[in-house]
Amino acid sequence: MVFSSLFFLFVFFIANVLTQALVHDLKKKNIVMLCFSLVFYAWGGVRYVPLLLGMTAICWFFGLRIQNAQASNRGSGKGSLIACIVLQLIILGIFKYTGFFLRNVQLIAGVPKEIPNIVLPIGISFYTFQLMSYVVDVYRGDTDAQPKYWLLLLYASLFHQCIAGPIVRYRDVENDILCRRVKMAEVSRGITRFAVGLAKKAILANGCAGVADAMIAGLPSGQTSVLGAWLGAIAFMLQIYLDFSAYSDMAIGMGLMTGFHYKENFNYPYMADSITDFWRRWHISLSTFFRDYVYIPLGGNRCAKSRHIFNMFVVWGLTGMWHGASWNYILWGLYYFVFLILEKYLVPVDRIPKLLRRALTLVIVLFGWVLFKFEDMSMLGTALKAMFGLNGNRFHTISSGLTFQNYWFFLIIAVVGCTPLMSRLGNLLRNVSRNNKIALTAYGVADVLVPLILVVLSAMALAGNSYNPFLYFQF
């Protein structure tokens, strides 16, 4: 089940919101939310529910052991922390990296003859990191261990963000789980945020996907022109931001409607003026996870230059591996490692004009997404060659020209959707409405009609579109 499916929108989600509104006892609210979350997760594969239950049980058990050890002065609980993290990483590794490891061994040694086909449980990368952050925070004393297993399971399985983020830390939602209250002002904001995310996904991201896939389809045969290859790369660049940020918008919006508060996961990353700035804006919950639980424990930047470079190498290698069990993801992570080191030690970024910095950042990010897109290295090479006319492909074809003519206006709207322009216009109207009755009326009408129009348009788009995956479900 995905957020942008008609069944979710008009059955599952409405049923969840209604039951949360009708049930007044907080314990019963949590039980109902847990039931909805487990049903949502089971929709993608019932056989993986025991895995979620088991990984949560491991962290619940060791979290209590760590806290009891510290409370009774029987040690710091470090052994329990290490055991828990190792178990979690082994389970994640078995499901996510076994095939990748065996394929590389087979390539070198010729064995094994057959590689088992292990299906990746949906959302495992997200809830594994969430559960590990919980145990580490208990060890550090940043949060108390949750004595009730089912409440920790609720945290791990919350359907708003369990499948594709944002990565939520237990300490950030503990108060919401234990004593949340729904406020009508937040419900209104949540509805708007959800509607905006839905439109970004159903209309913009899916539309960009159609352009990107059309251009990529012609790469093997050399039918995609140079301009077509660039058009496809740009469309994918727009798609992946609109797709992933849409999921985060919808998760944040649904949280607000039911009393949960999730932190922002994106801050208009394509407005960045450096690669460092880009990663402060992109997938913020993942970046801060690696910063707080890997980079800083390794020593961060408060160490010798060589050690700092090593720390960065580890973090970005792991960032790439987290995204997928394929060499292109690892290379993608190390690709950013190189540019971040260049910005830190070799390139005086501040001396470059800001407009030029933004343009260079976008070009670097664009080629990063090309690397991210293709797990098949031969296809990656084909795509890169096509972008520079090295496949014998023409600079321009009728097909790529027609695609551009048909979609240029749509792509402009998609570009606007990647900027804070509409948000700033909304804020401007709200500020003007404070001292102007006409503007106040216009703002009130827009506040009601815009989300409704976006939902209707999105439902229409979804009804006629069979292509509707979220890209980050595969991670």
User: 3-class SS at 160?
Assistant: coil
Task: With beta carbons less than 8 A apart as the criterion, state whether 134 and 177 touch.
Answer: no
Distance CA 314, CA 369 (A): 21
Rounded to an integer, what is the distance from CA 85 to the centroid of its chain?
22
Task: With beta carbons less than 8 A apart as the criterion, state whether 88 and 61 touch.
Answer: no
Distance CA 370, CA 377 (A): 11
- Per-residue DSSP letter, 46: G
* 222 φ/ψ sector (left φ>0, alpha ψ -120 to 50, else beta): left
The pair of three-digit structure tokens given for residue 279, joined into one six-digit string: 């990663």
Neighbours of 38 (CB within 10 A): 19
Our CA dihedral for 217, 222, 226, 228, rounded to 10 degrees, sits at: -20
- Which residue, among 39, 37, 417, 20, has the nearest Cα to 207 in the 3D structure? 417
Q: CA of 270: how far to CAs of 203, 273, 274, 352, in Å?
A: 19, 8, 10, 18
Task: With beta carbons less than 8 A apart as the criterion, state whether 158 and 29 touch.
Answer: no
- 182 φ, ψ to 5°? -90, 130
Distance CA 471, CA 121 (A): 15
- Which residue, among 43, 7, 9, 62, has the nearest Cα to 121 in the 3D structure? 43
Peptide bond into 147 cis (omega under 30): no
**Does 323 participate in catalysis according to the annotation?**
yes
Query: Of residues 261, 283, 323, 396, which has the active-site annotation?
Result: 323
Would you name the residues annotated as active-site residues?
Answer: 323
